[in-house]
Amino acid sequence: MHSPKVSIVGGSGYVAGELLRLILLHPHFSIKQVVSESLAGKPVFRAHPHLRRFTDLRFSWLSELEECDLLFLALPHGEAMRRIDRFREIAPRIIDLSADFRLKDPVDYERWYGMIHPHPELLSQFTYGIPELHREEMKNASLISSAGCNATAVILALYPLFREGLVDCERTVIEVKVGSSEGGRRGSPASHHPERSSSVRAYKPTAHRHIAEMVQELGFGKKIELHFSATSVEMVRGVQATAHIFLEDDLDERAILKLFRSYYGNEPFIRIVRERSGIHRYPDPKILYGSNYCDIGFVRDGRSNRLVVISALDNLMKGGAGQAVQSANIMFGFDEKAGLEFPGLHPV
């Protein structure tokens, strides 16, 4: 196969920078254009300084966007849905990294995003972009809506348990701890270093929009409740999710392990972390920067029916650019791991 040409729209953001890094080093894809209205004409390394010397590419205007084989949309929420017709003329395959096409039910956009979706008819055409759940669909998909970072961490942690119906569906409590890069490239009073540094900020104790995705992917026809809170902690990259699950039956850790292995044992980007001792015995985003892994571990509370499942990932990789490239690999029939071999660094 010839090398598919890839373009990126919304090219100045952090996820776009990681997409660009992955495509530039990818064995099959090659980069065609990177669009940024705010930086058009400037070299891409001005926004992505780690790519100095890697490429002479410059940002393009949206009006200059040419046909390509695959288009990644890394725009702020609301932009992709406004222009989707135009983008579909540009490329036969699209992976959107915003929330614009993640939800199947148009009503959810009213409920969670406070807006009427302008293209409800397209929602069913987008594949929800977590390969571990939708790999088969992806093989023939032309439209993928890549999953949210928090949603990916939570859904992967809970999927086998909810799929098998082992859980009290109304009791699950989930906390995620997130880094500052989740907020994107644009500064705000919340991201000002003297304020953000070492803070432990309950930025979304209730009503986080990613809940809609989680419920959609974990419901399996049942009504479920996910009691979700998100807290910012001192790190730039990373999500750690801690899910407190209440088991219907008294499964021991061995049974849980068997379950997770049956679902994820062959997954290239999920590692089940199972160590009895040491400081790395539970998933920690710290060892995952730049990697596409989602690490998952768990522990049974001996005093109750609680199971604590812990997952970790890099929000810009498995929670962003990495997962999008993984999906693209599947879409094009490439080795799913192509361009995603980097294991992370330690210590860092």
Our CB check for a copy of itself shows the closer of 2 and 186 to be 186
Catalytic annotation present for 149: yes
Distances (CA, A) of 195 to 199, 204, 237: 7, 17, 17
* Contacts to a copy of itself from residues 304-333, by CB under 8 A: 304, 306, 308, 310, 312
Point out which span in 26-34, 205-213, 247-255, 328-336 binds a copy of itself (CB under 8 A): 205-213
Q: Are 300 and 252 in contact (CB under 8 A)?
A: yes
Q: What residues between 3 and 32 interact with a copy of itself by CB under 8 A? A: 14, 17-18, 21, 25
The verdict on 41 binding a copy of itself (CB under 8 A) reads no
Interface region with a copy of itself, contact rule CB under 8 A, candidates 28-36, 76-84, 131-139, 196-204: 196-204
Q: Does residue 195 bind a copy of itself (CB under 8 A)?
A: yes
Site membership for a copy of itself, residue 201 (CB under 8 A) = yes
Our finding on whether 38 is near a copy of itself (CB under 8 A) is no
Pairing of the two strands 270-272 and 239-246 = unpaired
111 or 258: CB nearest a copy of itself: 111
Q: Report, in Å, the least distance between residue 137 CB and a copy of itself.
A: 26
139-178 positions binding a copy of itself, by CB under 8 A: 171, 173, 175, 177
Q: How far apart are CA 32 and CA 214, in angstroms?
A: 34
What Cα–Cα distance (Å) separates residue 174 from each residue in 89, 177, 243, 244, 303? 40, 10, 4, 6, 19
What phi-psi label fits residue 78: left (phi over 0), alpha (psi between -120 and 50 degrees) or beta? left
Please report whether residue 343 would count as binding a copy of itself according to CB under 8 A: yes
| CA pair distance 305, 25, nearest whole angstrom | 47
Which of 124, 132, 126 has its CA nearest to residue 159?
Answer: 132
The DSSP bridge pattern shows strands 94-96 and 201-204 to be unpaired
115 binds a copy of itself per the rule CB under 8 A: no
Q: Which of residues 269-308 bind a copy of itself (CB under 8 A)?
A: 271, 273, 275, 278-280, 282-291, 293, 295, 297, 299-304, 306, 308
Q: Which tokens belong to 166?
A: 């082992």
Window 57-86: residues binding a copy of itself (CB under 8 A)? none
Closest approach, Cβ 316 to a copy of itself, in A, equals 8
Stretch that binds a copy of itself, among 52-60, 94-102, 115-123, 156-164 (CB under 8 A): 52-60
User: In this chain, which of 104, 119, 135, 244 binds a copy of itself, going by CB under 8 A?
Assistant: 244
Q: Is 147 exposed, middle or buried (0-12, 13-18, 19+ CB in 10 A)?
A: buried
Give the C-alpha separation, 41 to 43, whole Å.
7
Determine contact, residues 312/270, Cβ cutoff 8 Å. no
Among 26, 93, 134, 237, binds a copy of itself (CB under 8 A): 237
Residue 287 CB, shortest distance to a copy of itself, in Å, is: 5
Question: Is the dihedral angle over the CA atoms 116, 117, 118, 119 positive or is it negative?
Answer: negative
221 scored as a contact of a copy of itself (CB under 8 A): no
Q: Which residues are catalytic?
A: 149
